[in-house]
Amino acid sequence: MSKKLVKLEVPAPLDVEKIMQEKIPADQFEKVAGEKIFDQKFEGEAIGFFKDAWLRFKRNKSSVVALCIIVFIVFMAIFGPMMSKYHFREQHTEFGTLPPRIPVLEDFGIFDGTQQMELFKADLEMEEFKDAVVSIEREFIWKYKNKEIEKVIANINMYEYTGAEDHYFIFGTDNIGRDLFVRLWRGTRISLLIGFVSVFINVCIGVTYGSVAGYYGGKVDMIMMRITEILGGVPFLVMSILFIMVLGAGIVSFILVLILTGWIGMARMIRAQFYRYKDYEYVMASRTMGAKDRVLIFRHILPNAIGPIITQATFAVPSAIFSESFLSYLGLGIQAPEPSIGVLLAEGQRVLTTSPHLTLFPALIISLLMLAFNMFGNGLRDAFDPRMRGL
Amino acid sequence: MLKYILKRVAAMALTLFIILSLSFFAIRLIPGDIAGQGAAPELKAALEARYHLDKPLLEQYVIFLKNFLSFDFGESINLYPRRPVFQIIRDKIPTTLQLNIFSLALTIPIGLACGIAAALKKNTWVDYAISAMVVFNVSIPSFVFATVMQYIFCYKLEWFPFLLELEDSSFSLSKFWSMILPILALSFGGISTITRYMRAELFEALNSEYMLLSKSKGLSKLQSTLRHALRNSFIPLCNVIIPMFMNLLGGSMVVENIFGIPGIGSLTSASIQTSDYYLTIAVLFFYSCISLTSMLLVDLSYGIVDPRIRIGGGKVRE
């Protein structure tokens, strides 16, 4: 091949302006492809975002179990108090601090309403103990002022002893004879109510605030983020104690306290999502086509964050319930007569050794509830965003 | 760097101002009369003069701010009548501090060890067991832990004394023995927090490109893990460990109550229950100071450990 420079013929540049202005009649156009579309037909039905997440969620057995537990507890919190014939304020002062007694299980020796008591041996002959003694654990000699007194540790059927044979308090009663079963579910209802309502409001505030800060950016974002930084610096404990001291402990003030700084985490997350998505081409395309800010925020960008929103809200519920019972422990619990799980726990803690059932059942429910919500949240996170699995 | 520090300090000062204002208005708004009902007018006037209640609101506010910023919190009213609040708090600090330092000394090594083990043995039974432990510990509140442990180990088995031993203020073995359960109760939550972070960070570090490089230049797995992956994964951990101190203080409020430990935590709840508002607010101020300092420390240490943040000026928290 000889080295010969070939002069390429460069076509004259198209005069785009001119072509654009030219009017070409429609019948001069011809379809490149025919009417027939050669793409393969989709087989099976289309799977949407939520269905996809659900399919992935279902595979995670522990999360499904957690969901069932949550559903069960919520169901009991709503209908549980109606199942019992007692009312949550109904007092049976003569049946104070009875241990639990459950109809079928009592035949197997568990939850049969017995309690260990230390008694004088002579007392066993007395009328009220006669039928109530189930078994005698051990006998011992108690020395008091140089006298030797025979004492026994006996299992006493408290229901026989107090004359409550006809009653079945399946979780036992508190010191003024209120049925723990009814009070516990009633308390769960209050705790769940506080949790759900505060989280719902937090999501609303956080989403709006974070969207505005993230979408507009610049000065607006800077000012808004400074505000959250300064507010977020106030420790939750300090703020909640101050507010409850002023407002008094009630459902509304608990919800208010949880809202005051609770939305900040959600706002930050939403803002980060907006920063990630707002420069995508599809957003620009939509803006070029004249979409308003409102449409861009709520129709186009926000739905990207739906997974993290749901996940974060799920994790916020148990922490709200935790905060409520924590404040109850400090003596800032919801005022009587309305119980909450925290109030019941704090009450039970004071009589831990004499009537452990008053601590056992509320502790069990709050632990189950928090465990279930955390596991459910983990499952949701993995389902919505499989990349995050196991982190 | 200086600008960055100044910015953080300014934000902190504003937060402190908000806390103080909230405290002031809380004190003013709490229902009730300082002298009690039916008190003699002279007594009421004297008390009002003593607590500056006779001055205009703005002046009261200025006095309040001045007092608090010079750590003059006034005197306790109901719980320890006429004792200066500052002195009460000062006396209570050592116990709480002791408890918290022990708890941190337990939390951090165990948390790190579990996290590292889980990340290195990812997707084996070790990892699953540790993950299950984490979910369990995060979910169950510390006061439930404390109560259950107290019932089992103090009451049923009688291994530990029910309450903290207080005969001597100095440190002794029997006192330490009685502190074990509170320390455990405080540590559970923290351990799982550290474990979770450590596992996530180390796992990310292990899969990064510099690990590939260190492997390709012939470092053994142990060397590259110790020198490169671990060191890098420690950076975000200071974000977790420093605020943990504040969380522990908060958590110890309830645990101190349960085990009868005479620290700041039980002081808080006792002051709330006896409506000793000046004491409560002083304690809360104390908590706020610790929390703000720890947040400042986090921000600064972040800037020192990771220069990228310093240059960016303020980190983006997600």
pLDDT digits (tens, 9 = 90+) for A49-65: 788 788 888 888 888 88
Q: Which residue from B271, B266, B273 is spatially nearest to B251, judged by alpha carbons?
A: B266
Per-residue confidence band for B318, with pLDDT thresholds at 50, 70 and 90 = very low
pLDDT > 90 in chain B, percent? 0
How many C-beta atoms lie closer than 10 Å to residue A211's C-beta? 22
For a pLDDT cut of 90, what percent of chain A falls above it?
4
- pTM confidence score: 0.79
Beta strand A147-157 pairing with A114-120:
antiparallel
B288·A238 Cβ contact <8 A: yes
Greatest Cα-to-Cα distance within chain A, rounded to the nearest angstrom: 131
Where is mean pLDDT largest: A48-57, A148-157, B24-33?
Answer: A48-57
The Cα of A353 is separated from the nearest Cα of chain B by a number of Å equal to 7
Residues of B in contact with A330 (CB under 8 A): 253-254, 257, 268-269, 272
Query: Which residues, including other chains, have CB under 8 Å from residue B203's CB and lie 6 or more apart?
Result: A391, B119, B122
Interatomic CA distance for residues A306 and A208, integer angstroms = 13
Residue A366 has pLDDT above 80, yes or no: yes
In this structure, the number of other CB atoms found within 10 A of the CB of residue B262 comes to 16
When pLDDT is cut at 50, 70 and 90, the band that residue A198 belongs to is very high
| Residue B271 in contact with partner chain A when CB distance is under 8 A | no
Tell me whether residue B298 is in a domain: no
Using N-to-C axis directions, what is the helix angle for A251-277 and A218-232, rounded to 10°?
A: 140
Among chain A residues, CA nearest to B193: A391
Of the candidates A242, A322, A329, the beta carbon closest to that of B22 is on A242
Per-residue confidence (pLDDT) for residue B29, from 0 to 100: 76
Inter-chain touch B141–A375, beta carbons under 8 Å: no
Predicted local distance difference test score (pLDDT) of residue B312: 46
Give the list of residues 6+ apart from residue B232 with CB closer than 8 angstroms, or none. Answer: B201, B205, B208, B210
Domain span including residue B186:
87-274
Considering the domain A49-85+178-388 in this protein, what is its CATH number? 1.10.3720.10
Judge whether B232 lies within some domain. Answer: yes
Helix (H) or strand (E) holding B204, with range, is helix B173-206
Gap between the Cα atoms of A188 and A253, Å rounded: 18
Determine the pLDDT at residue A390: 46
Of A233, A242, A332, nearest to B26 by CB-CB distance is A242
User: Taking CA atoms, what residue in A is nearest to B255?
Assistant: A329
Q: What's the pLDDT score for residue B313?
A: 43
Tens-digit pLDDT profile for residues B93-125: 877 888 888 888 888 888 888 888 888 887 788
**Helices A180-216 and A251-277: crossing angle, nearest 10°?**
30
CB contact under 8 A, A234 and B19: yes
Question: Which residues in chain B touch residue A370, judged by CB atoms under 8 angstroms apart?
Answer: 139-141
The single-letter code of the amino acid at B204 is E
Write out pLDDT tens, residues A259-284.
888 888 889 888 888 888 888 888 88
Residues 8-47, chain B: which have Cβ within 8 Å of A? 11-12, 14-15, 18-19, 22-23, 25-26, 29-30
Length of chain A as a residue count = 391
Residue B128: burial class (beta carbons within 10 Å; 0-12, 13-18, 19+): middle
Phi, psi of A116, rounded to the nearest 5 degrees: -80, 135
**Alpha helix (H) residue ranges in chain A:** 16-21, 49-59, 61-83, 127-130, 158-162, 180-216, 218-232, 236-247, 251-277, 281-288, 293-295, 306-327, 341-350, 357-384
Residues of A within 8 A of B266 (CB-CB) are none
The partner residues of B75 in beta bridges, in order of sequence, read B84
Burial classification of residue A23, based on how many CB atoms lie within 10 Å of its CB (0-12 exposed, 13-18 middle, 19 or more buried): exposed
* CATH number of B195's domain: 1.10.3720.10
Q: What is the mean pLDDT of chain A?
A: 79
Q: How far A234 CA sits from the closest chain B CA (Å)?
A: 6
Assigned token pair, A94: 């003569």
Give pLDDT, residue A205. 92
Interface check B284 vs A, CB under 8 A:
yes
Interface contact flag, A330 B269, Cβ < 8 Å: yes
Q: By three-state DSSP, how is residue B61 classified?
A: helix
Lowest mean pLDDT among A119-128, A275-284, B10-19, B66-75: A119-128
pLDDT value at residue A204? 92
Indicate yes or no: CB of B140 within 8 angstroms of CB of A332: no
Indicate the domain borders of chain A. Answer: 49-85+178-388, 102-161
C-alpha closest to that of A331 among A389, A259, A245, A270: A245
Q: Residues A208-219: what's their mean pLDDT?
A: 87
> What does the alpha-carbon distance between residue A190 and residue A203 come to, in Å, rounded to a whole number?
20
Q: DSSP per residue over chain B, as a string?
A: -HHHHHHHHHHHHHHHHHHHHHHHHHHHHSSS-TT-TT--HHHHHHHHHHTTTTS-HHHHHHHHHHHHHTT---B-SSSSTT-BHHHHHHHHHHHHHHHHHHHHHHHHHHHHHHHHHHHHTTTSHHHHHHHHHHHHHHHS-HHHHHHHHIIIIIIIS--S-SS---S-SS--HHHHHHHHHHHHHHHHHHHHHHHHHHHHHHHHHHTSHHHHHHHHTT--HHHHIIIIIHHHHTGGGHHHHHHHHHHHHHHHHHHHHHHT--SHHHHHHHHHHTT-HHHHHHHHHHHHHHHHHHHHHHHHHHHHH-HHHHHHSS----
The highest-confidence range among A67-71, A306-310, A347-351, B283-287, by mean pLDDT, is A67-71
User: Across residues B250-266, what is the average pLDDT?
Assistant: 78
Higher pLDDT, A197 or A93: A197
Calculate Rg over the CA atoms of chain B. Answer: 24
Rg of chain A in Å (alpha carbons) = 34
Q: State how far the Cα of A165 lies from the Cα of B217, in Å rounded to an integer.
A: 80
User: What is the Cα–Cα distance from B156 to B170, expressed in whole angstroms?
Assistant: 29
Looking at chain A, which residue has its C-alpha nearest residue B28?
A246
CA–CA gap between residue B119 and residue B223 (Å, rounded) = 16
Please say whether the beta carbons of A175 and A351 come within 8 A. Answer: yes
Instruction: Give the nearest chain A residue to B316 (CA atoms).
Output: A272
Tell whether B30 is covered by a domain: no
The band of B182, judged by pLDDT with boundaries at 50, 70 and 90, is confident
Query: What gap in Å lies between CA A157 and CA A254, rounded to an integer?
Result: 41
Give a yes or no: residue B9 inside a domain. no
Contact A349 B277 (CB under 8 A): no
- Residue A3 confidence class, pLDDT cut points 50, 70, 90: low
Q: Is B242 helix (H, G, I), strand (E, B) or coil?
A: helix
C-alpha dihedral over A91, A72, A363, A345, to 10 degrees?
A: -40
CA atoms within 13 A on the CB side of A31: 5
| Contact status, residue A190 vs residue A334, Cβ threshold 8 Å | yes
CB contact under 8 A, A238 and B284: yes
Give the ipTM: 0.79
Would the pLDDT of A10 be above 60? yes
> How far out from the chain centre does Cα B68 lie?
21
Total domains present in chain B: 1
For residue A234, give every residue at least 6 positions away whose Cβ sits within 8 Å of its Cβ, in sequence order, or none: A261, B15, B18, B19, B22, B288
CA A311 to chain centroid, in Å, comes to 10
Alpha-carbon distance A359 to A189, whole Å? 18
Within 8 A of B25 by CB-CB distance, chain A residues are 246
Q: Is residue B119 part of a domain?
A: yes
For A377, name the nearest residue in chain B, comparing CA atoms only.
Answer: B135
Give the minimum alpha-carbon distance from A256 to chain B in angstroms, rounded to a whole number. 15
* pLDDT bracket for residue B11 (50, 70, 90): confident
Q: Name the pLDDT band for A4 (thresholds 50, 70, 90).
A: low
When comparing pLDDT for B214 and B72, which is higher?
Answer: B214
Average pLDDT over every residue of A4-9: 64
